[in-house]
Amino acid sequence: MLKFNRPVISVANNNYFVLHCAIIIALTAITYLNCWHADFISLDDVSILDSLQSSERTLRSMFIGGGGDYFRPLTFISFIFDLSLFGRDARWFHFVNLLIHIANSLLLYLLARQLFKQYTQSGTAAFCAALLFALHPVNTEAVMWVAARTDLLCCFFFLLALIAGLNKELSNAKAGGAFFLMYLCSLLAKEASIAVVLIVPFYCLLNRKTIAKSRSITLFTATGTATLLYLLMRNGFTSTPDKGIVKVISASSSPAQFLTESLAAFGFYMKKLFVPLPLNFAIVTVNTDVYVWVGIVFVLIAAILLFRASPLRLPLLIVVCGIVPPLMAMHGKLPWTPYAERYLYIPSIGFALVVGTIIACFETVWLRRLFYGVLLVCSVITADRVALWTDPKAFWYDVLNKSPEFSRSYVGVAIELIKESKLDEAQVLLEKSLKMGFNSDFVWSNLAVIHLARKNYTEYEKAMDRAAQLSKQPARYYQTMVQVVTRHLDYYNDKDALYRRIAGYYLKAYAKDPSYVDGLYNTAKTYMYLKEDDLALKYFKQYLATPGETMYRPYAKLLIAKIESKK
C-alpha cells in the first residue's frame, strides 16, 4: 500500500503552520456560514436525488459506464453516501461541499509551501494563496451548488496528485503510484482534470534542468496510463465512439471561428479571475469583440512568463491548461451554458499560486497589506453571494435579470411562484420558456403541477405524458401520474376509459425504458381490473418471458393460473 509522506518543512518555515491552517478553516467557515440555510435548487440538484432514489446502480454500472456526455462515478458515490446518511436534508449536502472546499484550501496551502520553500516568507505566501482560493468569489458557485460537488472532488484529487508527484522526498515509484491513483480519481470525479495531460509534459519540459529525468518519465507514464484507463472505463471497455468526445471533435465551427471563440472565452475567464463581478449563475454570452483581445493579451503575457519566470510556470500552466477543458466543452455544446464560474475552480488554484509567488518574491509589507484588503473585499462579496443562494426566489430572479435569454431561469422563478400558489404567474413564465425553445420534461412536469393544483386532471395527464416522452426516466413520470389519477377517480366519468389510458401509459414507459419490466406486470393487472382476461394473460406471459430482476414473478404466475382456471 502506498504511503503519503508529508512534505518536509524546515523548522524555520514551520512557524505558524497550525495557526495558518486554523485561520484558513475559520475564515472559510465564517464566510460560508449561511450555506447551512440553503436548500437544493431546482436545476439538477433535485433531479440528481430523484435519479439516485428511483434507480438501482451497481459499482460496475457506475465505473464501467459507457460513452455518455458525462462520466463521474466518484461524485455519484458521494451523493449516495449523503443520501443514505442524511436523507434529502439539503443542509448536510451543503455542509459536505463546504468541508471539501476547506480541505482543498488546506491542500493548496501544503502545495504552496512545497513550491515556495526556497523563500524566507514561504509560510506567509502559502497562507495568502490558500486564503485567496478559499474566499475568491468566483468559487462560490462550485461550493454552494450541490450538483457542482463534481468540481470540488475533482480538485481535491488533483491537488493530492500534484503534492505527491512533485514531492522530491518520495521515491519515483511512490510518487508515480500516488500520482497515478490520485489523478485517476480526479478524472473519475470530473473530466476537467484531463488538463494534467498538458500540465505535466509542459512543466517537465520547461523545468528539465531542475527535474530529474527519471521523475519526468515517471510522471509521463503515470499520466498516460491513468488517462488511457479512464477513457476505457468511460467507454465501457468497448470500441464504440465516446459520445462526449465525438461532440467535441465534431464541432461544426470553422478554424477561424474556433480560434476566435476560444480566445474570447479565455479572455473572459481570465477577467473573471481578476475581476469576478458581476457574478452570474447562467452566463450565456460574452462580448466576443472585446474579450478576444483580452485573451490575446493574456496568452502573450503567459507565454513570456512561462519562459522567463520559472517560479510562475506551474501556477500559469494550471491556469491556462485548466481553462482548456471548459473551452472544449463549450465547442462541443456539452453544458447547458457555454460559460460558467464553477469551471474556474481548478484554474483559480493556479491564480492563487501566482499571487502567492508574487508575495513570496517581493517581501514588502505594503504588498501584504494591499492583499489583505483585497481579501477582505473578496470575503464580503462571497458572503453576500452565499446569502443569495439561501433565498431561491431571489436567486432565480437574479439569474433572470442578468440572463433574460436563459430559458431555464424562467422555470426556476416559476417553481418558486408555484410554492407561493401564484399559479397564473408561474404558468406564464413556463409557457414563455417553451416559446424560447426549452421544450423539456422539466417544464412540462411543472405545468402538470399547476394543472394538478387546479384539479384539472385531463390537462395534468397531458402535461405528465409529454414530460415522460421527453424524459430519460419516463417510468418515474408515468408511475407518479398513475398514482395521482387513481387517487382522484371521482373526477372521472368514464373509469374504464381511464384504466385503458393507464394501461397505455405503462406500455409507453416500458417501450421507452425496457428495464422497467414491471410496466408489463402493471399493464396486465390493469386489464384484469377491466375484465379483459385475454390481454391480461398476454402481458403476464410477456412479463414472465422478459429477463430482469423483479419481485412480482410469483404473483404473476398465480394470476395466470387464476385467469386460466376460468376458461
Over the stretch 215-245, which tens digit does the pLDDT of each residue have?
999 999 999 999 999 988 888 777 776 666 6
Q: What is the DSSP string of 90-126?
A: HHHHHHHHHHHHHHHHHHHHHHHHHHHTTSTTHHHHH
Q: What is the rounded CA–CA span in Å between residue 312 and residue 396?
A: 39
- 492 by Cβ neighbours in 10 Å (0-12 / 13-18 / 19+) ranks as middle
Mean pLDDT along residues 118-143: 93
Q: What is the pLDDT of residue 11?
A: 40
The amino acid at residue 79 is F
Q: What is the DSSP-derived secondary structure letter of residue 286?
A: -
Cell of 440: 423539456
Structural domain including 200 reads 17-389
Instruction: Report whether pLDDT(534) > 50.
Output: yes
Eight-class DSSP state of 362: S
Residue 293: phi and psi, rounded to 5, are -75, -35
Within a domain: residue 314?
A: yes
Predicted confidence at residue 10, as pLDDT, reads 42
**Looking at the domain assignment, is residue 144 inside a domain?**
yes
Q: How far apart are CA 53 and CA 479, in angstroms?
A: 14
| Separation of alpha carbons 70 and 310, rounded Å | 36
Quick one: average pLDDT of 190-211? 92
Find where cell 513550491 sits.
Answer: 115
Does residue 62 surpass a pLDDT of 90?
no
CA distance 563 to 526: 14
How far apart, in whole angstroms, are the C-alpha atoms of residue 188 and residue 522? 38
Cβ atoms within 10 Å of 18's Cβ, excluding its own: 9
Residue 46 pLDDT greater than 60, yes or no: yes
- pLDDT higher than 80, residue 13: no
**Pairwise CA distance, residues 534 & 526, whole Å:** 12
| Nearest alpha-carbon partner for 239 in 71, 69, 67 | 67
Q: Which of 5-14, 198-207, 488-497, 513-522 has the highest mean pLDDT?
A: 198-207
The reported pLDDT for the residue numbered 44 is 75
What is the structure's pLDDT at 490? 83
Q: Is the pLDDT of residue 6 over 50?
A: no
In a domain, 102, yes or no: yes
State the DSSP code for 270: H
- Indicate if the alpha-carbon torsion angle 453, 458, 459, 460 is positive or negative: positive
Task: Give the cell for residue 548.
Answer: 430482469
Q: What is the C-alpha separation between 286 and 177, in angstroms, rounded?
A: 42
Which among 170, 138, 166, 147 has a CA at the least distance from the CA of 44? Answer: 147
Which residue in this structure is represented by grid cell 467557515? 29
Task: Give residues with Cβ within 8 angstroms of 228, minimum separation 6.
Answer: none
Nearest C-alpha neighbor of 168 from the set 131, 127, 119, 118: 118
Separation of alpha carbons 344 and 459, rounded Å? 43
Name the DSSP letter for residue 277.
P
Cis preceding-peptide flag for 278 (omega within 30 of 0): yes
Does 461 fall in a domain?
no
User: Is 507 within the bounds of a domain?
Assistant: no
Asked whether the bond before 392 is cis by omega within 30 degrees of 0, the reply is no
Quote the CA–CA distance of 35 and 390 in Å, as a whole number. 7
Q: What is the CA radius of gyration of the chain?
A: 27
pLDDT, position 330: 85
Q: Determine the Cα–Cα distance for residues 563 and 525; give it in Å rounded to an integer.
A: 11
Residues 344-357 have a mean pLDDT of 96
Residue 2 lies in a domain: no
pLDDT in tens, 293-326: 999 999 999 999 999 989 999 999 999 999 999 9
User: What is the per-residue burial (b if ≥16 Cβ within 10 Å, else e) of 404-435?
Assistant: eebbbbbbbbbbbbbeeeebeebbebbeebbe
Number of domains in the chain: 1
pLDDT of residue 492: 82
- How large is the average pLDDT for residues 494-499? 88
Q: What is the mean pLDDT of the chain?
A: 89
Lowest mean pLDDT among 184-193, 234-243, 281-290, 472-481: 234-243
Within a domain: 41: yes
* Mean pLDDT across 126-155: 96
CA gap 483, 498 in Å, rounded: 13
Distance of CA 138 to the CA centre of its chain: 15
Confirm whether 52 is domain-assigned.
yes
Give the per-residue pLDDT at 66.
55
CB 228 within 8 A of CB 254: no
Signed CA dihedral, 224, 225, 226, 231: sign only:
positive
Average pLDDT on 166-185 reads 93
pLDDT band at residue 4 under the 50/70/90 scheme: very low
pLDDT at position 7 is 39
